[in-house]
Every structure is written in C-alpha cells, then in structure tokens.
C-alpha cells in the first residue's frame, strides 16, 4: 500500500505550463487532480508513474458558469462544489444529484469532475449524468490545439478513456437545457458511498401541454460503460408520461441495456433494478420538466 | 443488591474520548524507535500449491533491505502450536503442523511464505515485489461439504481427512422427544463468512537486547496470554519477555485475541537483527487474514408440541474453519462455544448436537464478537419462528413458552445462567413496538400492497467466562484482577490485567473505584497493557470487563477501607474502625460526628510520604490487589431484540424502520457506555447479517480485499437503534454488574430475518441463508412467485 518511488513532481500554475510538462514527460507522467482514483491505484501499484504533474495549483480551472448557451464546468471543479453550486442546483439538478451521490464528504471535497470522467469507472456517478445532459469535454493538447469530444465517445471502456498522453481536459460543457425540461438521477448501491450497482440518469423535455418532446435515459453500473436506453427513450417521445408508459420504458431499458454478473450483483438483479429505477427517475425528471 | 456507590449509574463523559477526539490517541504505528526497521510478508497468490522455488537474491540486493527469510530459515524455531496454544476441548481434535512461514506448501491466498525487512515501507514494498516464487498449483477445496467427501483434496495429507475437530453433545433423551412431537421443524440454515474488521489493523514492534530481553508492543486483547505463549515459543524466561499493548487500539472485535504467525516472526527478527522490527498490516492483508468468522451450516430439527413447547433439538453443525493455522483458537474454538451456546435462552431439555469442523483452502476463522454463536443464534431463532408459523402461534408467545423461566438455570448441555427476566424484557419490547397495534397496521398494509414485518430474537450473552470453563478450555484463568493503589497525592492508580480498546474501562473502573473510596472519577487513573507493570489476567475477551475486572477493582478498593479508617482514626486521635466511617466527598467521615473528618489525600500522604505519622506498627503504603472469581460456573445477560421492517418486493430492498434492543446490563455502571456497546454491537450485527461477506471465487481468490468490496455499514446505512434497559442485577458480582461487549451482534441476524419473512408472509418466502442482501430477498420473492 505504498507507491513506487516518484522521480519528478511538478506543481504548475497555468494550463500552458501543464501542457509543456506533458510534452516533456509524456508517457511517464500522470496528471494528479483530486487523487481519489489515482492515489489508490498507485498505492496498490496498479499505476506506477515516474512523474506527477499536480493540477491543484493551476488557476481558474474550477470555474462554474454559463456562457453562450452552455454550462462550463472547469476540470478541477470538486464534487462537493458541483453538488452545492446554486446554478447547478437550480438548472441541472440531475448533475448535482450525481455529484452528491459520490463516495463520502472527504472524497467529494477532493475529487474532480474531469478526474472522474477520465478515470471512466463504469459504475461512477458522473458519466451517466453527463451523458444524459449531452455533455462534452474540452481537451487541450500540448501542440496548442484543442478538441471537443462527446462524453459518449470519450468513454472507451472500463477504466479507459480517450485521453492522449499529451492532453489535458480543461472543462466540461453542457448545453443549457430548454424551457420545460428537467432531469433526475438515482443510484442503487449496497452501502452509502459505494459505487453503483446500477444508476439511472434521465433528462426530459416537455411541450407546454406536457407531452414528451425529447427524452434521454442513461444507465450506469453496466459494462463496458454507461449505456443509453434509446428504445426506452423513444417510447416516451410524443406521449404523456403516465404510469403505464413509465413501466413500459423501464421494461424496455431492462431489455436493451446489457448487464453482467459481478461481486455486487447478478446480471438478472441488475436488470430488475433498471426495470424499477428507470420509471422512478423518468417520473421525477418529468415532474421537474413540468414545474 | 442496592448499591451505595455514588458513581454507579451515572452517564459521565468518557475519560478516553478527549485524547481520541483531538488526535492525541497513542496507537501502535505512532511508536517509533531509533534504528527501527520494518517487516513485510510475501503471501501466497494461490489457494493451494507446492512452492517449488523461492529466490530472495534480488530482494536482498536492493539497497535498504536488511534481510529476507523463507520457511526454511525459520523451521528451527519449531511448530507454532503447542499444548498451551491449542484449545483443550472434549471431542476429537487434530492439530495442524505449521511454522511462522509456510514451508514447501501454501494453503490459502494470503498464506505467508517469506518475510522481508527493510529500512522503510517504500523500500520494503519494492523488495517484496522482487521475491520470486515458483508455485506448482494443487487441487483446492473451498466448500465445507465437499471437504468431507473421501475424494476431496486434503490440506493435511497425514490426517486422512479434512476434519479438524468433531464433537457430539448429547443431553436428555432426544429420540423420545422427537417421538412425542406433534410437529417437527427441520431446516438447513447457512451463515456466510463475515465478522470483525477493526479500524486499526494488526501490528507489532519488537525490540531485543540480551540484557533486558524482548519487548513486544502489540495490538492485542490479551497481553499476558501472548507473553506466556511467546516466551514458550521463543524459549525465553518470563523475565526476558515483556508485552505492551499501546495505550490505544482502534478496535479488535475478537481479531486481536489469537497469537499470529507474523508476531512470532517480528520477535525472531528483532532478536536476529538486534534492531527494533515493526510490522503494520495493511488493509488488504487484514481483509485476507483476519475477521473471517461465522461460516457454518446448521441442519436443525426441533421437536415441538401443539402448544408450542419445544421438547427437543437436533443439530448437525458443519463449520468451515479455513486453514486452521492460528494459535490459541485454531479455527474451532469458536464453533465449539457456538455449539455449547446453541440452545441459549431456550429451555430445551433434550438435545443432540453434532459439530464437525473442517479445514478448507481459506483463511483461518478468527474470533469475532459474539464468538461462535452468531450462526447458531440465527439458525435456532429462525427455526423457532418456523415452528410458531406452523402452529399459527404468536412469535412472542412461543418464545415466552420456551424461554428460561427460573434462575439460576443450568442448560441441558451444562451452561449456567445466573439471572435474567425474559417475560419482563418481552413486555418492554412489545410495549416499545406497540406490538398489538402493529399487527393491525400490518394487515392493513398488506391489503394496500405494502409489506411490513416485525421479528424478534432473544439471547443469553456471556458475561465473562469463569475459570471453571476457561481453564479446561484454553488453559487460562477466568478471574478478574485489579490493583488499586493510592499515590502520594491521594490520587488512585488502578492497574488492570486486561487491555481495553473501546470498552470504556478507564471511565467505568474509575467510577466504581471513586464510589467505593469516596473520591471522584477524576481522582482515578486506570493503567493497563504492560505485562511488566499490571497484574496477570486473561485479557479483554468475552464481556469480562464489567463482570470480572471491574468487580476485582471494587473488591480491591473495599479492601483498602479498613486501613484508611485506621489511619483516619489515628489522625483524629480516636478509637474507631471501618464501620465508623463513611468515605464521601474526598473525606473519611466519622458517622457519629460528621465534623470529625480526614481528607483522603491526607490519609494517602501519611501512608506514602509521611509514614512516621502512621499508627504504630502499621505497614506503609495503601494498595491492594484483588482477584475476583464469581461463585458460579457462568454469568449471563438476558436480552430481547426486535426489528421492524418494510420490504419493497420489486427490488428486495428493505428498510429497518425500527430496531429495539432491550438489554440486561445487571447494574449499568455508566448507562451511556452500555448504550454505546449496544449500538456498536447492533451495527456490527446488521453489517454482518445484511451487507458484509468475505467472498472467494472458484480458485480461492478472495474478491473482497478492499473496503469498497467488503461492505461495512456507516451511520447512513443504519437505523436509529432504540436501547431500553431491563436490568436484572447479577447475584454474583459485588455491584450486580454484567458484561455487555461481546454478545450483541448475535441478536441481530434472526431479528432482521424474522422481520423480513414476517413482512413477506403473503408471498410465502422462507429465509434460511445469510447475508440478507436485497438481491437474496428479491430472488426468494421471485422463487415464491414461480411456485404459485
Ligand atoms: C472510497 C472511494 C469511494 C468512491 N466512491 C465513488 C462513488 O460512489 N461514485 C463515483 O463516481 N466515484 C467514486 N469514487 C471515485 C471518485 O469520484 C474520484 O474522485 C474520481 O473518480 C477521480 O477524480 P479525481 O479528481 O480524484 O482524479 P485523480 O484520481 O486525481 O485522477 C484520476 C485520473 O484522471 C486523470 N486526470 C485527472 N484530471 C485530469 C484532467 N484534467 N485531464 C486529463 N486527465 C486527468 C489522472 O491522470 C488519472 O488518470 C470513490 C473513490 C474512493 C477512493
């Protein structure tokens, strides 16, 4: 439980410096954000970086604001800050709920949104939530370029994401939701603070008469990464969200999202939890959309 | 038993808490010695394999590495188990032959096979990775029933089978009982592998010099017993062997009672290297090696009359003891005591219990709070529930019908129960639950598609184990011992032989001694843990604190009073003895004339600083050591717990809406401390019963080696625990007090399982296995639906 020796430790203060260091140390280096995933891996010696580039001194990387119709969340925004941010609580309650569900207070005080998304645990809370909000990552490259990537594409598999050795996630961007829309998130775990057995994020847009215009449902806690319940979502399109419809959506989601057995639960039980949780979460999202 | 002790029954704040809350606790890892080196283990990655080669050359070549040893290097120390470190129980016992490191063969994942010593932990872990081990995997056996089959792989080939221990416990005439029964309930119950996982893992620090010998700081519940066994193993005279439990220890729950192989290695290495050697177990090692308890299968039958009277019981118990290579308990002492306590609070005159303990390629069972009886308590209280259901009898009624009614009671298998009151405890439980109304609420809920249930369990918990039982079982005494000693400033040091680690002895012992001597708890300081300065005792195990150790402190304090009175009389120039004085408000006060008084600090001053003022011929000093032994073969606490649940059948999830614990502490010394013990015990019981499980895959790899996988509940996962006192003072202790630390978790699994099954009555679910995970409950509901 003690990491391998680290040769170099850097604590750059701006993004340009981070990128230069990445260029110099590339494959030997690891970025350190909240350390809540990296440090356990290092202690178990599953990660043995020679160089640590500590992001915690980098200025202005934890901003949360709306700009040009998009919500910007700085890469270094801590789970606790996201969970308590007035703008997020008001307009993106689904994201606040996901952040609130992560681990325990210590972990939420340190852990960051980019760290969680890069770490790409299939049972983590942020990925389904950010997917349901159609979130993107803005990635800066050492050569000076930037790219924007959908989270769906960024998540490659269990603990695998599309991040290059010379790249830094600088922020997460989420389109400002339209009027009459709302989201919800729920997680089922064995004990408080544990990773999800399954989790469900849903975002619903209604027309003024309450008919569902658009629905996005994402299920976490499944392999190799959170899955979109497309059929379940399309069932809702153009309809009023009544109990029968919600149950059908749950049924559809349980059928279409692939589940597996692991120490936490069997595939069959996961399916059942999806069947039960999807209607609960979609109902809550619908209520919020109608408010 | 009315007590005149002014501090008894007061919920004063714990003396321990200040230092613990502000971070001033003194734990083993805080101790640092000059020239200290650290020790780590290379552990098997196979559940069963021949070791074909071990190469430590690369590891020892690493700068900063002091030495690396393999099994061959420690064989000369001799086998770990001796007569003294093996339980001496009736029945057929086999003794595993093993050394501090495994030689030639490993038997579970985590089995230590080499040890490395380095200057720091970072170098140590680098070096551990460099030890090259070649294995030749062998067939494994993980299932205890498979272990019994003649063609099963063997852990100890010379045994001829995998049976570690077998005992048959018959009493009365069970055949006749079953012949007369109107109803026979027969069920197979399984309790999984779970137990204790203390916040602070195991650890030790060994220091040696030929002049003073060996000093071992050790996370232990029993410093004196460890010293005894270590001296024997290392061939050192007691004068050269000192064990010190650090001031604070982050819990033990039974796991720090055995003697472990790592401790022997640290001692050996300290002697060999002439440097202090420290070992601190990491969490993975802890989850791989200790705290694994329970793990039993019960095939239990009850012979019941139409009116609910239980005439007899038969039980075939199979315990999976793992590799059985842990000294003192050897994996089978727990199931043994569990079998002896199976019938527990029930008065069942005819029994036939057959216990078989087998070895498998898993970690050895270690003691865990509720010592061996968790599984049996689950099985019996479940079976009683099934009998009640079959007879359409109320679960409280059937329990009252069969509960021990008159005290003292000797159970069919010879367990002495001194005092208790089950009807009173049930009455309080039912009142707290508003039980009659609850049944109405329950049927209404069922009609509305909601599933509410209530479940009960009852128990007789050990309140210390007397010498009469402990000497034959573990070759150890059961007495409690304390030295009460005034210092020259009139403060009192109480030295005990146990080593508390969360039980609150510093507070409760201070309270009783203060009360006996007319002082305040602030005037009393309790010391423990060092075999060179405290009296010899068996350690903090089996709820001995408030029953035995505290009673010894009371007796020792009382023994000082005649001398205190004589000194006071002498100072007052009067003729008076003990009966003429009361000790109150820091004074010896003459009862017939309260203006005649001597400060107790003055008495101590005369006894210690100014002995020329003593009465002529009186010996200086003011101290006494008492050994307390109860005049009975067993003291117990009788308790009733109830859980009220709501189950959500779609997912099998459930909420423990209420948890009511009606507990008997005899005479609580500090009711808040008692409540703390019950809260902790119920929390552990809920964790063990509902959430925690040590899981091995088909290759014997443990899948639960981090706390992300082994799910210990936090306060967020637990219900509010309602504690209600129903105290029946023990007639055998000076204050009537009873122990409260050990037994509580054993109350929980049946209470919760009975409640869940009760809630699901309309669906016809039967619960026979633990843990009570939502998935298990959901599957049972699915199976019941399919049957329909
Ligand atoms: C006990 C425990 C319980 C937990 N429970 C939960 C839970 O219930 N739900 C949940 O979702 N998570 C849980 N987590 C994980 C937690 O959310 C982590 O905080 C998160 O996964 C990682 O964020 P971090 O900032 O700590 O990243 P770090 O650990 O610092 O880094 C993680 C990875 O991301 C990379 N990285 C970090 N920032 C950037 C960046 N800006 N650009 C590019 N790469 C970057 C790092 O190099 C590293 O590879 C738990 C963790 C622990 C220890």
What is the count of structural domains for chain A?
A: 3
Q: Is pLDDT above 80 for B1? A: no
- Predicted local distance difference test score (pLDDT) of residue B469: 87
- Predicted local distance difference test score (pLDDT) of residue B633: 85
Measure CB to CB from residue A191 to each of B126, B704, B711 and give the nearest one.
B711
Same domain, B678 and B717: yes
CB proximity list for A43: less than 8 A, separation 6 or greater: A1, A2, A3
Q: Whose CA is nearest to atom 51 of ligand 1?
A: A36
> CA B385, CA B379: separation in Å to the nearest integer?
10
What is the count of structural domains for chain B?
A: 3
Same domain, A38 and A106: no
Same domain, A164 and A206: no
Searching chain A, which residue's CA lies closest to the CA of residue B702? A263
CA B188 to chain centre: 26
Residue B134 lies in a domain: yes
Residue B433 lies in a domain: yes
Cβ atoms within 10 A of the Cβ of B670, count?
25
Per-residue pLDDT tens over the stretch B351-373: 999 999 999 999 999 999 999 99
Same domain, B600 and B638: no
Write the CA distances from A64 to A32, A98, A110, B36, B301, integer angstroms. 20, 16, 16, 50, 65
Searching chain A, which residue's CA lies closest to the CA of residue B126? A4
Residue A2 lies in a domain: no
**Residue A46 forms contact with B (CB below 8 Å):** no
Contact across the interface for A269 and B778, Cβ inside 8 Å: yes
Q: Is pLDDT above 80 for B585? A: yes
- Predicted local distance difference test score (pLDDT) of residue B720: 97
> CA B192, CA B293: separation in Å to the nearest integer?
8
Q: How far is B556 from chain A (nearest CA, A)?
A: 47
Of B77, B32, B505, B34, the C-alpha closest to B264 is B77
Q: How far is B382 from chain A (nearest CA, A)?
A: 24
Q: Is pLDDT above 50 for B2? A: no
Contact across the interface for B714 and A193, Cβ inside 8 Å: yes
Searching chain B, which residue's CA lies closest to the CA of residue A195? B708
Contact across the interface for B716 and A193, Cβ inside 8 Å: yes
Residue B174 lies in a domain: no
Residue B601 lies in a domain: yes
CATH of residue B489: 3.30.365.10
Same domain, B88 and B218: yes
Same domain, A101 and A124: yes
Chain A segment 88-117 residues within 8 A of B by beta carbon are: 104
* Ligand 1 atom having least distance to the Cα of A75: 41
* Ligand 1 atom having least distance to the Cα of A195: 8
A273 to chain B: which residues are within 8 Å by CB?
651
Same domain, B299 and B268: no
Q: CB of B37 within 8 A of CB of B278?
A: yes
Tell me, in angstroms, the distance from the centre of ligand 1 to residue B22's CA: 30
> Considering B599, B628, B657, which residue would you say is the last residue of a domain?
B628
> Considering B628, B662, B690, which residue would you say is the last residue of a domain?
B628
> Considering A140, A175, A210, which residue would you say is the last residue of a domain?
A175
Q: CB of B682 within 8 A of CB of B494?
A: no
Contact across the interface for A1 and B708, Cβ inside 8 Å: no
CB proximity list for B235: less than 8 A, separation 6 or greater: none
- CA–CA–CA angle B290, B98, B193 (5° rounding): 25
Same domain, A154 and A241: no
Residues of chain A with pLDDT under 50: none
Same domain, A81 and A40: no
> Considering B603, B628, B653, which residue would you say is the last residue of a domain?
B628
Contact across the interface for A272 and B121, Cβ inside 8 Å: no
Q: Which of B711, B716, B772 to mutate to test binding with chain A, by most A CBs within 10 Å of its CB?
A: B711
- Predicted local distance difference test score (pLDDT) of residue B743: 95
CATH of residue B113: 3.90.1170.50
Same domain, A75 and A22: no
Q: How far is B282 from chain A (nearest CA, A)?
A: 7
Contact across the interface for B122 and A2, Cβ inside 8 Å: yes
Q: How far is A236 from chain B (nearest CA, A)?
A: 22
* Ligand 1 atom having least distance to the Cα of A193: 8
**Residue A41 forms contact with B (CB below 8 Å):** no
Same domain, B519 and B646: no
Give me A24's structure tokens.
């110099």
**Residue B11 forms contact with A (CB below 8 Å):** no
Q: Is pLDDT above 70 for B217? A: yes
Same domain, A194 and A272: yes
Same domain, A44 and A71: no
Same domain, B216 and B349: no
Q: Whose CA is nearest to atom 50 of ligand 1?
A: A103
- Predicted local distance difference test score (pLDDT) of residue B474: 78
ipTM: 0.96
Tell me, in angstroms, the distance from the centre of ligand 1 to residue A117's CA: 8
Searching chain A, which residue's CA lies closest to the CA of residue B687? A191
Q: Is pLDDT above 80 for B242? A: yes
Same domain, A80 and A149: yes
**Residues flanking ligand 1, CB < 6 Å:** A 30-38, 40, 55, 75, 102-103, 107, 110-112, 114-116, 118-119, 124-126, 163, 168-169, 193-195; B 708
Q: CB of B364 within 8 A of CB of B331?
A: yes
State phi, psi for B520 to the nearest 5 degrees.
-115, 155
Same domain, A233 and A149: no
- DSSP-derived secondary structure letter, B715: G
A37 to chain B: which residues are within 8 Å by CB?
none
**Residue B714 forms contact with A (CB below 8 Å):** yes
Same domain, A228 and A277: yes
Same domain, A110 and A12: no
Structural domain for A215, as ranges: 181-290
Which of the four pLDDT bands, split at 50, 70 and 90, describes residue B473? confident
Residue B157 lies in a domain: no
Contact across the interface for A191 and B129, Cβ inside 8 Å: no
Residue B182 lies in a domain: no
Contact across the interface for B650 and A272, Cβ inside 8 Å: yes
Residue B81 lies in a domain: yes
- Predicted local distance difference test score (pLDDT) of residue B3: 45
CB pairs under 8 A between A and B: 53
Tell me, in angstroms, the distance from the centre of ligand 1 to residue A157's CA: 15
Same domain, B261 and B299: no
> Considering A117, A149, A175, which residue would you say is the last residue of a domain?
A175
Per-residue DSSP letters for B345-379?
A: TB---EEEEEEEEE--SSPPP---SSTT-HHHHHH
Structural domain for B366, as ranges: 293-409+422-466+632-787
Same domain, B636 and B509: no
Same domain, B579 and B639: no
What sign does the dihedral B363-B368-B373-B374 (CA atoms) show?
negative
pTM of the model: 0.97
> Considering A175, A191, A214, which residue would you say is the last residue of a domain?
A175
State phi, psi for B130 to the nearest 5 degrees.
-90, -10
Same domain, B623 and B641: no
Same domain, B243 and B375: no
Q: How far is B261 from chain A (nearest CA, A)?
A: 21
Residue B649 lies in a domain: yes
Q: CB of A216 within 8 A of CB of A261?
A: no
> CA B321, CA B155: separation in Å to the nearest integer?
12
Residue A60 lies in a domain: no
Same domain, B596 and B643: no
Measure CB to CB from residue A269 to each of B691, B714, B775 and give the nearest one.
B775
Rounded to the nearest integer, the mean pLDDT of chain B is 97
Q: Which of A190, A200, A254, A262 to mutate to test binding with chain B, by most B CBs within 10 Å of its CB?
A: A190
The β-bridge partners of B483 are: B495, B625
Residue A116 lies in a domain: yes
Give me B625's structure tokens.
């050591």
- Predicted local distance difference test score (pLDDT) of residue A26: 82
**Residue A290 forms contact with B (CB below 8 Å):** no
Contact across the interface for B124 and A2, Cβ inside 8 Å: yes
């Amino acid at each position: 439980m003690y990491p391998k020796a680290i040769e170099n430790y850097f604590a750059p203060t701006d993004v340009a410096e981070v990128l230069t260091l990445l260029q110099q140390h590339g494959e030997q280096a690891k970025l350190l954000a909240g350390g809540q995933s990296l440090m356990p891996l290092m202690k178990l010696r599953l990660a043995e970086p020679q160089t640590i580039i500590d992001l915690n001194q980098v200025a202005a990387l934890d901003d949360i604001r709306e700009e040009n119709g998009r919500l910007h969340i700085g890469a270094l925004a801590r789970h606790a800050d996201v969970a308590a941010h007035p703008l997020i609580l008001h307009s993106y309650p689904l994201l606040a709920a996901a952040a609130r569900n992560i681990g325990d207070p210590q972990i939420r005080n340190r852990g960051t949104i980019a760290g969680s998304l890069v770490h790409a645990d299939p049972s983590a809370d942020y990925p389904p939530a950010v997917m349901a909000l159609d979130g993107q990552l803005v990635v800066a490259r050492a050569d000076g370029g930037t790219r924007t990537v959908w989270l769906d594409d960024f998540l490659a598999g269990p603990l695998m994401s599309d991040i290059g050795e010379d790249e830094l996630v600088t922020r997460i961007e989420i389109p400002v939701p339209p009027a009459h829309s709302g989201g919800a998130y729920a997680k089922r775990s064995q004990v408080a603070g544990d990773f999800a057995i399954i989790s469900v994020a849903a975002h619903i847009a209604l027309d003024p008469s309450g008919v569902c215009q658009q629905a996005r449902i994402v299920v976490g806690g499944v392999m190799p990464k959170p899955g979109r319940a497309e059929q379940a979502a399309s069932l809702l399109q153009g309809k009023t969200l009544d109990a029968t419809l919600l149950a059908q959506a749950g049924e559809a989601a349980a059928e279409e999202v692939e589940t597996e057995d692991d120490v936490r639960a069997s595939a069959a039980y996961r399916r059942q939890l999806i069947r039960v949780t999807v209607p609960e979460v979609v109902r809550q999202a619908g209520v919020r959309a109608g408010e | 038993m009315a007590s005149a002790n002014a501090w008894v029954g007061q919920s004063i704040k714990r003396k321990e808490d200040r230092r613990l809350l502000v971070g001033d606790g003194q734990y083993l890892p805080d101790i640092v010695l000059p020239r200290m080196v650290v020790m780590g283990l290379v552990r098997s990655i196979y559940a069963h394999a021949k070791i074909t080669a071990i190469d430590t050359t690369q590891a020892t070549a690493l700068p900063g590495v002091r030495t690396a040893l393999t099994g061959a290097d420690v064989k000369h120390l001799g086998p770990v188990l001796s007569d003294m470190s093996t339980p001496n129980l009736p029945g057929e016992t086999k003794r595993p032959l093993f050394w501090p490191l495994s030689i030639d063969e490993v038997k579970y994942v985590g089995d230590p096979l080499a040890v490395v010593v380095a200057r720091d932990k970072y170098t140590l872990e680098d070096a551990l990775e460099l030890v090259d081990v070649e294995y030749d995997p062998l067939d494994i056996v993980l299932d205890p029933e498979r272990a019994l089959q003649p063609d099963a792989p063997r852990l100890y080939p010379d045994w001829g089978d995998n049976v570690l221990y077998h005992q048959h416990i018959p009493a009365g005439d069970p055949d006749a009982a079953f012949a007369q029964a109107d109803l026979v309930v027969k069920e197979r119950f399984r309790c999984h592998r779970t137990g204790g996982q203390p916040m602070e893992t195991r650890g030790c620090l060994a220091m040696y010099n030929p002049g003073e010998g060996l000093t071992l700081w050790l996370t232990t519940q029993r410093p004196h017993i460890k010293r005894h066994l270590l001296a024997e193993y290392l061939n050192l005279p007691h004068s050269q062997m000192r064990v010190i439990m650090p001031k604070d220890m982050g819990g033990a729950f039974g796991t720090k009672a055995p003697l472990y192989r790592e401790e022997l290695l640290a001692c050996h290495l300290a002697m060999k290297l002439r440097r202090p050697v420290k070992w601190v177990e990491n969490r993975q090692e802890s989850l791989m090696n200790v705290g694994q308890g329970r793990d039993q299968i019960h095939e239990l039958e009850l012979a019941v009359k139409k009116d609910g009277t239980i005439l007899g019981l038969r039980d075939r118990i199979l315990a999976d003891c793992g590799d059985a290579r842990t000294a003192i308990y050897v994996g089978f002492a727990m199931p043994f005591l569990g079998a002896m306590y199976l019938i527990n609070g029930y008065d069942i005159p005819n029994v036939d219990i057959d216990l078989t303990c087998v070895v498998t390629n898993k970690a050895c069972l270690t003691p865990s709070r509720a010592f061996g009886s968790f599984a049996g308590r689950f099985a019996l209280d479940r079976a009683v529930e099934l009998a009640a259901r079959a007879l359409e009898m109320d679960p409280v009624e059937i329990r009252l019908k069969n509960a021990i009614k008159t005290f003292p009671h000797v159970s069919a298998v010879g367990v002495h129960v001194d005092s208790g009151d089950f009807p009173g405890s049930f009455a309080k439980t039912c009142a707290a639950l508003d039980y009659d109304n609850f049944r109405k609420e329950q049927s209404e809920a069922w009609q509305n598609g909601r599933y509410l249930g209530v479940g009960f369990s009852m128990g007789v918990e050990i309140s210390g184990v007397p010498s009469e039982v402990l000497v034959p079982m573990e070759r150890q005494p059961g007495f409690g011992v304390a030295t009460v000693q005034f210092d020259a400033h009139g403060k009192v040091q109480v030295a005990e032989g146990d080593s508390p680690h969360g039980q609150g002895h510093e507070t409760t012992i201070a309270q009783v001694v203060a009360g006996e001597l007319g002082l305040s708890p602030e005037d009393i300081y309790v010391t423990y843990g060092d075999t060179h300065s405290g009296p010899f005792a068996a350690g903090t195990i089996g709820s001995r604190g408030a029953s035995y150790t505290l009673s010894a402190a009371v007796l020792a304090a009382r023994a000082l009073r005649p001398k205190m009175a004589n000194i006071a009389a002498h100072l007052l120039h009067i003729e008076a003895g003990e009966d003429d004085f009361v000790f109150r408000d820091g004074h010896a006060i003459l009862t017939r004339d309260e203006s005649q008084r001597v400060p107790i600090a003055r008495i101590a001053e005369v006894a210690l600083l100014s002995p020329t003022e003593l009465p002529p011929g009186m010996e200086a000093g003011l101290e006494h050591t008492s050994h307390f032994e109860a005049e009975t073969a067993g003291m117990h606490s009788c308790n009733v717990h109830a859980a009220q649940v709501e189950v959500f059948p779609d997912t099998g999830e459930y909420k423990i809406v209420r948890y009511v614990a009606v507990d008997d502490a005899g005479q609580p010394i500090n009711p808040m401390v008692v409540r703390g013990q019950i809260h902790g015990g119920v929390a552990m019981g809920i964790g063990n019963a509902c959430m925690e499980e040590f899981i091995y895959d088909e290759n014997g790899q443990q899948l639960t080696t981090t706390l992300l996988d082994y799910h210990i509940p936090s306060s967020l996962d637990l219900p509010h625990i309602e504690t209600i006192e129903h105290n029946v003072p023990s007639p055998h202790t000076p204050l009537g007090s009873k122990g409260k630390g050990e037994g509580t978790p054993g109350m929980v699994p049946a209470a919760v399982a009975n409640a869940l099954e009760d809630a699901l009555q309309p669906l016809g679910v039967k619960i026979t296995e633990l843990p009570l995970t939502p998935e298990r409950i959901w599957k049972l509901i699915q199976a019941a639906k399919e049957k329909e």
